[in-house]
Amino acid sequence: MKLLDGKAVAQKILGEVAGGVRDLRARTGVTPTLAVVLVGDFAASKIYIANKKKAGDGVGIASRDFIYPDGLSRPALSTLLESLNADPAVHGILLQLPLPAGFDEDAAIAAIAPEKDVDGFHPQNLGRLLAGSPTVLPCTPAGCLEILDHYGAELTGAEAVVVGRSRIVGKPLAQLLLARNATVTLCHTRTRDLAAHTRRADVLCVAAGRPGMITGPMVKAGAWVVDVGINRLETGKLVGDVDFDSASQRAGAITPVPGGVGPMTIAMLLRNTLAAARRQLRA
Ligand code: NDP
């Protein structure tokens, strides 16, 4: 069994991003800049943002914080996003989800300029992905593909099963796998016999938010298993959606949690920010 070390792959990508940032600064004098918007007091969001900022600092991407723990009115959020869209010194906008109750997340995402949407969630960017001509890829799905590619998974003709159909992970991940000529099955809570699907997967990607739901007997011998789930147990331990101990007995290759997809998501966000800056600067 091969351990798919997302931390190591992310480090490699962050090194490339750092080189790209240095190069861009040398050619244009501009530092790629990410605006981070957090509305509400969400403990997990604060941790995610701190990690993203730290990684950004490490590669030379500047961040500007717009943090409103006590909330923000909907019109004020619209005004903020409009001003960030119009600010040429801001190249990427990260709107941390979830938003507090009462906000229309779809409307907020759509209010971000597509060229500054470094998460790849804007309907225009998702539409381009569906059309087969993406400009920016959603970070977590792109990170899953990077790990699989780094370790040499053969995707063409593979049976790929994705568990979870969220807009940020499952659906775009299925599109990416399809674009790589895998035969893709997308499973969800109404799937009749989940194990029947997962057991025939050459590539099994799980993003359901259910700790340990995929167990060894649900995994095909030799499969590539990518565990997107991040779940904190009452004990404080972080676990994925895959029961690592039993699944790793069957899998040919598997990502750990933590240290798998999580670090890749951040690396992809910073890569997207650099790419957005390059496009905006035409450099
Ligand atoms: P959502 O809650 O938005 O979606 C979960 C999906 O899983 C839904 O489509 C749901 O189906 C499906 N699902 C839930 N339970 C089952 C089940 N028992 N059987 C089959 N399908 C099921 O979650 P996200 O996509 O946002 O996140 C998924 C997980 O990935 C979470 O643990 C999250 O923390 C983690 N995550 C990790 C990231 C990383 O960087 N590693 C980034 C983003 C998320 P239905 O549509 O029918 O409800």
Q: Count CA atoms within 13 Å of residue 78 on its CB side.
A: 7
Convert the pLDDT of each residue in 167-193 to its tens digit: 999 999 999 999 999 999 999 999 999
Round to whole Å and give the CA distance between 105 and 85. Answer: 17
The predicted structure's pLDDT at residue 43: 87
Q: Which amino acid is at 137?
A: L
Neighbours of 198 (CB within 10 A): 26
Local confidence band at 209 (pLDDT 50, 70, 90 cut-offs): very high
Please choose, from the candidates 129, 175, 135, the residue with its C-alpha nearest in 3D space to the C-alpha of residue 155.
175
Question: In the chain, which segments carry CATH 3.40.50.720?
Answer: 139-262
Question: In the chain, which segments carry CATH 3.40.50.10860?
Answer: 29-113
- Architecture per CATH, domain 29-113, reads as 3-Layer(aba) Sandwich (3.40)
Q: Residue 269 pLDDT > 90, yes or no?
A: yes
Residue found under tokens 């750092």: 18
Q: Residue 44 pLDDT > 90, yes or no?
A: no
CB 6 within 8 A of CB 143: yes
Name the phi and psi angles at 202, rounded to 5. -75, -35
Give the residue-averaged pLDDT of 240-263: 98
Neighbours of 155 (CB within 10 A): 21
Q: Is 11 a catalytic residue?
A: no
Nearest residue (CA) to ligand 1, atom 4:
166
Local confidence band at 9 (pLDDT 50, 70, 90 cut-offs): very high
For residue 256 and ligand 1, the question of a CB distance below 6 A is answered with no
Convert the pLDDT of each residue in 62-108 to its tens digit: 999 999 999 999 999 999 999 999 999 999 999 999 999 999 999 99
CB 34 within 8 A of CB 94: yes
* 214 Cα: distance to centroid of ligand 1 (angstroms): 13
For residue 248 and ligand 1, the question of a CB distance below 6 A is answered with no
Round to whole Å and give the CA distance between 32 and 56. Answer: 10
Q: Which atom of ligand 1 is nearest to the CA of 266?
A: 40
The predicted structure's pLDDT at residue 65: 95
For residue 169 and ligand 1, the question of a CB distance below 6 A is answered with yes
For residue 270 and ligand 1, the question of a CB distance below 6 A is answered with no
For helices 261-281 and 43-59, the axis angle rounded to 10 degrees is: 60
Strands 92-95 and 33-39: parallel
For residue 212 and ligand 1, the question of a CB distance below 6 A is answered with no
Nearest residue (CA) to ligand 1, atom 47:
189
Show the tokens assigned to 192: 């009749």
* 252 Cα: distance to centroid of ligand 1 (angstroms): 23
Q: Is 46 a catalytic residue?
A: no
* 211 Cα: distance to centroid of ligand 1 (angstroms): 10
How far out from the chain centre does Cα 23 lie?
25
Mean of pLDDT over the chain? 97
For residue 266 and ligand 1, the question of a CB distance below 6 A is answered with no
Round to whole Å and give the CA distance between 162 and 150. Answer: 19
Q: Is 119 a catalytic residue?
A: yes
Nearest residue (CA) to ligand 1, atom 6:
164
Considering 117, 119, 202, 243, which one is annotated as catalytic? 119
Share of the chain above pLDDT 90, in %: 98
Give the residue-averaged pLDDT of 125-138: 97
| CATH 3.40.50.720 corresponds to the domain 139-262 | yes
Measured at the alpha carbon of residue 90, what is the angle toward residues 86 and 270, in degrees to the nearest 5? 140
* 241 Cα: distance to centroid of ligand 1 (angstroms): 9
Give the residue-averaged pLDDT of 111-122: 98
For residue 237 and ligand 1, the question of a CB distance below 6 A is answered with no
